[in-house]
Chains A and B, each alone.
Chain A
Amino acid sequence: MTGSSVIDVRGLTKRFGDKTVVDHFDIAVPRGAIYGFLGPNGSGKTTTIRMICGLLTPDEGEGTCLGFDVRRDAARIKERVGYMTQKFSYYEDLSIRENLDFVARMYRLDRRRQRVDAALDELGLADRQKQLAGSLSGGWKQRLALAACLLHEPDLLLLDEPTAGVDPKARRDFWDEIRRLSARGVTVLVSTHYMDEAIQCDFITYIAYGRKLIDGPSSEIPAMVGLVTYRVSGPDISALEAELQKEDGVEQVARFGAVLHVSGTDRAKLESVVSRYRARGTHEWTEKKSELEEAFIYLMAGARDNFARDAA
Chain B
Amino acid sequence: MRFSFARLFAVLAKEFIQMRRDRITFGMMIGLPIFQLLLFGYIINSDARHLPTLVELNDTGPLVRSIVSGMQISEYFDIQGAVAGVDSGEKALRDGTASFVVVFPQDFERDIVRGLKPTLLVTADASDPSAVGGAVGALSGIVSRAMAETLSGPLARLAPAPPPFDVAVHKLYNPEGRTSTNIVPGLLAIILSMTLVMMTAVAIVKESERGTMEMLIATPVRPLEVMLGKIVPYVFVGYVQTAVFLLAGLTLFEVPFEGSWWAFFVGFNLFIVVNLALGFLISAAARSQMQAMQLSMFTILPSVLLSGFLFPFAAMPGWAQIIGSAVPATHFLRVVRTVMLKGGDIGDVAGEMWAMVAILIVISVVAMLRYRQTLD
Which residues of A71-96 are within 8 A (CB) of B?
A: 75-76, 78-79, 81, 83, 85, 87-94
* Contact A98-B14, Cβ < 8 Å, known A78-B220, A93-B22, A105-B7: yes
Give the one of A103, A107, A108 with max B CB within 10 A.
Answer: A108
Q: Does chain B have a CB within 8 A of A53?
A: yes
- Which residues on A sit within 8 Å (CB–CB) of B376? 56-57
State in angstroms the CA–CA spacing of A90 and B211 once bound together. Answer: 8
A100 to B376 alpha-carbon distance, docked (Å): 27
* CA–CA, A83 and B6, complex, Å: 22
Per the 8 Å Cβ criterion, residues 205-252 of A in contact with B are none
Q: CA–CA, A76 to B221, complex, Å?
A: 11
**A31 smallest CB distance to B (angstroms):** 21
Asked if A102 and B210 sit within 8 Å, CB to CB, the answer is: no
Contact of A88 with B220 in the complex, beta carbons under 8 Å:
no
| With A93-B21, A108-B7: A102-B214 Cβ-Cβ less than 8 Å | no
Bound Cα distance from A90 to B217, whole angstroms:
12
**What chain A residues lie within 8 Å of B220 (beta carbons)?**
75, 78-79, 106-108
| Contacting pair B18 A55 (CB below 8 A) | no
Please encode chain A, from 42 to 65, with 1 for each CB lying within 8 Å of some chain B CB and 0 for all others. 000000000001011100000000
For A94, the chain B residues whose CB sits under 8 A away are 14, 17-18
Minimum CB–CB distance for B229 against chain A, Å: 11
Complex: chain B residue closest to A105, CB-CB? B10
Cβ contact within 8 Å between B211 and A103: no
> How far, in whole Å, are A63 and B289 apart by their CA atoms in the complex?
37
B219 near A55: Cβ-Cβ < 8 Å: no
- Interchain CB contact under 8 A, B215 and A85: yes
Bound-complex Cα distance A103 to B220 (A): 10
Within 8 A of A (CB), among B1-34: 1, 4, 6-7, 10, 14, 17-18, 21-22
What is the bound-complex CA distance between A94 and B217, given in angstroms? 18
* Chain B residues within 8 Å of A83, by CB: 215, 218
Q: How far is the CA of A85 from the CA of B211 in the complex (A)?
A: 9
SS of B interface (majority): helix
Considering the chains assembled together, what is the distance between the CA atoms of A293 and B210 in angstroms?
A: 36
Complex Cα–Cα for A89 and B210 (A): 7
Q: A53-B218, A75-B220 known; A102 and B14 CB under 8 Å?
A: yes
B residues in contact with A79, CB < 8 Å: 220
- The answer to whether A78 touches B219, judged by C-beta atoms less than 8 angstroms apart, is yes
Closest to A56 in B: B376
Q: Which of B6, B17, B217, B221 contacts A98 (CB 8 A)?
A: B17
Q: What 0/1 readout, one digit per residue, does chain B (201-243) give for beta carbons within 8 Å of chain A?
A: 0000000001110111111110000000000000000000000
B214 and A55 form a contact (CB under 8 A) = yes
* B240 CB to nearest chain A CB (Å): 20
Tell me how far the C-beta of B10 lies from the nearest C-beta in chain A, rounded to whole angstroms: 4
| Residues in chain A near residue B6, CB distance under 8 A | 105, 108
Shortest beta-carbon distance from A12 to chain B in Å:
15
Are A106 and B211 within 8 A (Cβ)?
no
Bound complex: CA of A55 vs CA of B223, how far in Å?
A: 12
Contact in complex: A55, B218 (CB < 8 Å): yes
In A252-292, the 8 Å CB interface with B consists of none
* Contact of A75 with B1 in the complex, beta carbons under 8 Å: yes
Chain A residues with CB below 8 A from B217, complex form: 55
Taking CB atoms, residues of chain B closer than 8 Å to A87 are 211
Nearest A residue (CB) for B219: A106
1/0 contact string of B143-181 vs chain A (CB within 8 Å): 000000000000000000000000000000000000000
| A106 cross-chain contacts in B, Cβ below 8 A | 7, 10, 216, 219-221
B18 touches A93 (CB 8 A): yes
A interface list, Cβ under 8 A from B: 53, 55-57, 75-76, 78-79, 81, 83, 85, 87-94, 98, 102-103, 105-108
Some 8 contacts from A to B, beta carbons below 8 A apart, are: A78-B219, A83-B215, A85-B218, A87-B211, A93-B17, A105-B7, A105-B10, A108-B220
Besides A56-B376, A93-B22, 11 more A-B contacts (Cβ < 8 Å) are: A83-B218, A85-B211, A85-B214, A85-B218, A88-B211, A90-B215, A92-B210, A98-B14, A105-B7, A106-B7, A107-B219
